[in-house]
């Protein structure tokens, strides 16, 4: 502001309800002055007028939002030094809301608001004031601009953009691991007081999680949180204005937190010993049965690889890992023979394929089981000692002469007697031990 050649006095009302009554007004010459906070301004009548800390400025009115009175809310008074009080002057208002929201008494210069005003909708109204001679209609003052600044009250609670958030954090995370940040906004005036100063607290979810009061960052608060015990947590965060003090307004949000898996459980065979049976006639490659280790983890943390690591059957059997079922399938590697061996033993190991070094101390991440395989007998056909026999005889040989011996052996151990019978062939007709 520079030079004001004309005197247009704004009478300012800078009143808060708890502090003073709307009648307190004072005059001020339009000489530009810096705002003096917390000063005491002597009134013309010698009394001291206490101004509250916010102070006032030349060419500004302050008006409290959300006025609930039934009458029009008093804003302030325009006054010209040219006003002799004889009614010859007329005050005119124009600009934001002039004539509707803000009305002026053209004789006295008193300005009123006609309805309740919401600062969060509009915080400043810029208006222009004129004083004219009622008779000549000529301005006695130049048009002057002023502002009605709407004074905040704490009428907005902090709100979160989302009603429910979802977040996740690995199980077994160290205490203080950041999970997610939630931020509430408060529509009140952040530049004044604490009406928009938000502090976060946790209403539900302790002792597992905590929230940073100033930032809204949610962190883990308990060591060794185990997904295998509990996977889902519901955390309720409150945001409260007035710096979290009593009387502040608050809003809440819910955060669904899922613990994600880490490999903190080794695979385990449910039994120490597993019995399988296989027919001795089973061809190489036959699957004779399966073993399965359980793992409390999920996904790749539960993946195992099976191996035969010991036993007297390591040459005779193989194991393959079935990816889909996570089973170890035992197969025949070499032809089996009940008569030469009836029982084999394998030591089978299941080991996690993705081990996390951070959790070595919970290992080892493998387990073993004993697999006993019984070979089952099959009733095999007798076997001749040779595949063909040739006996030479003279044509005049006597009936009943022994011309040779054929031998058949029963490979089954519990030998059933071999009954031999003759078969025709082209060279003639023989019946063993008998003539033709």
Ligand X SMILES: *[C@@H]1O[C@H](CO)[C@@H](O)[C@H](O)[C@H]1NC(C)=O
Under the rule (CB under 6 A), what is the footprint of ligand X? Answer: 164, 166, 232, 234, 256
What's the burial of 12, exposed, middle or buried (CB within 10 Å: 0-12/13-18/19+)? Answer: buried
Asked if 350 and 269 count as a contact pair (C-beta separation under 8 A), the reply is yes
Residues within window 387-416 making contact with Ca ion, judged by CB under 5 A: none
Single residue of 152, 188, 349, 367 touching Ca ion by CB under 5 A: 188
What would the two tokens of residue 282 be? 């089973």
166 binds, among ligand X, Ca ion, none (CB under 5 to 8 A by kind): ligand X
CB nearer to ligand X: pick between 33 and 206: 206
Task: Check residue 65 for interaction with Ca ion (CB under 5 A).
Answer: no
241 binds, among Ca ion, ligand X, none (CB under 5 to 8 A by kind): Ca ion
Residues within window 140-179 making contact with Ca ion, judged by CB under 5 A: 154, 156
CB nearer to ligand X: pick between 105 and 162: 162
Please tell me the distance from the alpha carbon of residue 131 to that of residue 168, in angstroms, as a whole number: 67
Rounded to the nearest whole angstrom, what is the least distance from the CB of residue 58 to ligand X in the complex? 55
Rounded to the nearest whole angstrom, what is the least distance from the CB of residue 254 to ligand X in the complex? 7
256 binds, among ligand X, Ca ion, none (CB under 5 to 8 A by kind): ligand X
What's the burial of 188, exposed, middle or buried (CB within 10 Å: 0-12/13-18/19+)? Answer: buried
Enumerate residues 6+ apart whose C-beta is below 8 A from 306: 291, 293, 319, 320, 321, 328, 348, 349, 350
CB nearer to ligand X: pick between 126 and 234: 234
CB atoms closer than 10 angstroms to residue 407: 12
CB nearer to ligand X: pick between 234 and 415: 234
Task: Check residue 264 for interaction with Ca ion (CB under 5 A).
Answer: yes
CB nearer to ligand X: pick between 177 and 204: 204
195 binds, among Ca ion, ligand X, none (CB under 5 to 8 A by kind): Ca ion
CB nearer to ligand X: pick between 234 and 422: 234
Rounded to the nearest whole angstrom, what is the least distance from the CB of residue 166 to ligand X in the complex? 5
DSSP 8-state class, residue 357:
G
| 3 state DSSP class of 361 | helix
232 binds, among ligand X, Ca ion, none (CB under 5 to 8 A by kind): ligand X
349 binds, among Ca ion, ligand X, none (CB under 5 to 8 A by kind): none
Verify cis geometry, omega within 30 degrees of 0, for the bond prior to 270: no
- How far is residue 88 from each of residues 10, 46, 92, 135, 432, measured CA to CA in Å? 19, 30, 13, 7, 158
Task: Return the exposure string of 128-166: e unless at least 16 CB atoms fall within 10 Å of the residue's CB, then b.
Answer: ebbbbeeeeeeebbeebebbbbbbbbbebbbbbeeeebe
234 binds, among Ca ion, ligand X, none (CB under 5 to 8 A by kind): ligand X
CB nearer to Ca ion: pick between 360 and 389: 360
| Phi/psi of residue 358, nearest 5 degrees | -65, -25
352 binds, among ligand X, Ca ion, none (CB under 5 to 8 A by kind): none
| Phi/psi of residue 230, nearest 5 degrees | -155, 130
| 3 state DSSP class of 72 | coil
Asked if 340 and 280 count as a contact pair (C-beta separation under 8 A), the reply is no
Rounded to the nearest whole angstrom, what is the least distance from the CB of residue 165 to ligand X in the complex? 8
CB nearer to ligand X: pick between 114 and 256: 256
154 binds, among Ca ion, ligand X, none (CB under 5 to 8 A by kind): Ca ion
Residues within window 195-254 making contact with Ca ion, judged by CB under 5 A: 195, 241
Stretch that binds Ca ion, among 84-92, 231-239, 261-269, 353-361 (CB under 5 A): 261-269
CB atoms closer than 10 angstroms to residue 387: 6
CB nearer to ligand X: pick between 232 and 427: 232
CB nearer to Ca ion: pick between 38 and 364: 364
What's the burial of 373, exposed, middle or buried (CB within 10 Å: 0-12/13-18/19+)? Answer: buried
Total residues binding Ca ion (CB under 5 A): 9
273 binds, among Ca ion, ligand X, none (CB under 5 to 8 A by kind): none
Residue nearest to ligand X (CB): 256
Asked if 61 and 10 count as a contact pair (C-beta separation under 8 A), the reply is yes
Task: Check residue 327 for interaction with Ca ion (CB under 5 A).
Answer: no
| Site residues, Ca ion (CB under 5 A) | 154, 156, 186, 188, 195, 241, 261, 264, 297
């Amino acid at each position: 502001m520079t030079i004001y050649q004309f005197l247009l006095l704004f009478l300012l009302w800078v009143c808060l309800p708890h502090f003073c009554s709307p009648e307190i007004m004072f005059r001020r010459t339009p000489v530009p002055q810096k705002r003096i906070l917390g000063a005491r301004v002597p009134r013309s009548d010698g009394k001291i007028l206490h101004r509250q800390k916010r102070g006032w400025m030349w060419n500004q009115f302050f008006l409290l939002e959300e006025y609930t009175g039934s009458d029009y809310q008093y804003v302030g008074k325009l006054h010209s030094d040219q006003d002799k009080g004889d009614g010859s002057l007329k005050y005119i208002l124009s600009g934001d809301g002039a004539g509707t929201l803000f009305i002026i008494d053209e004789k006295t210069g008193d300005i009123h608001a006609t309805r309740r005003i919401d600062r969060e909708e509009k915080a400043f109204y810029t208006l222009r004031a004129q004083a004219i001679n009622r008779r000549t209609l000529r301005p006695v003052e130049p048009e002057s601009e002023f502002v009605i600044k709407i004074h905040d009250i704490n009428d907005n609670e902090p709100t979160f953009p989302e009603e429910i958030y979802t977040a996740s954090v690995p199980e077994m995370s160290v205490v203080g691991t950041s999970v997610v940040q939630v931020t509430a906004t408060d529509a009140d005036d952040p530049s004044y007081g604490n009406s928009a100063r938000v502090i976060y607290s946790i209403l539900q979810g302790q002792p597992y999680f905590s929230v940073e009061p100033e930032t809204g960052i949610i962190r883990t608060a308990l060591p060794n949180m185990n997904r295998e015990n509990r996977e889902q947590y519901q955390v309720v965060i409150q945001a409260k204005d007035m710096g979290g003090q009593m009387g502040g307004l608050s809003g809440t949000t819910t955060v669904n937190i899922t613990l994600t898996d880490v490999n903190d459980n080794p695979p385990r065979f449910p039994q120490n010993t597993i019995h399988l049976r296989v027919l001795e006639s089973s061809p190489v490659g036959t699957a004779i049965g399966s073993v399965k280790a359980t793992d409390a983890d999920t996904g790749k943390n539960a993946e195992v690889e099976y191996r035969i690591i010991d036993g007297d059957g390591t040459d005779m059997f193989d194991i393959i890992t079935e990816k889909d079922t996570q089973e170890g399938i035992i197969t025949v590697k070499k032809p089996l023979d009940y008569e030469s061996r009836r029982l084999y033993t394998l030591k089978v190991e299941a080991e996690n394929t993705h081990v996390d070094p951070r959790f070595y101390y919970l290992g080892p991440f493998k387990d073993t089981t004993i697999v006993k395989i019984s070979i089952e007998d099959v009733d095999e056909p007798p076997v001749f000692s040779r595949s063909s026999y040739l006996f030479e005889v003279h044509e005049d040989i006597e009936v009943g002469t022994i011309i040779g011996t054929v031998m058949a052996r029963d490979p089954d151990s519990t030998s059933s007697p071999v009954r031999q019978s003759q078969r025709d062939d082209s060279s003639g007709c023989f019946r063993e031990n008998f003539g033709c």
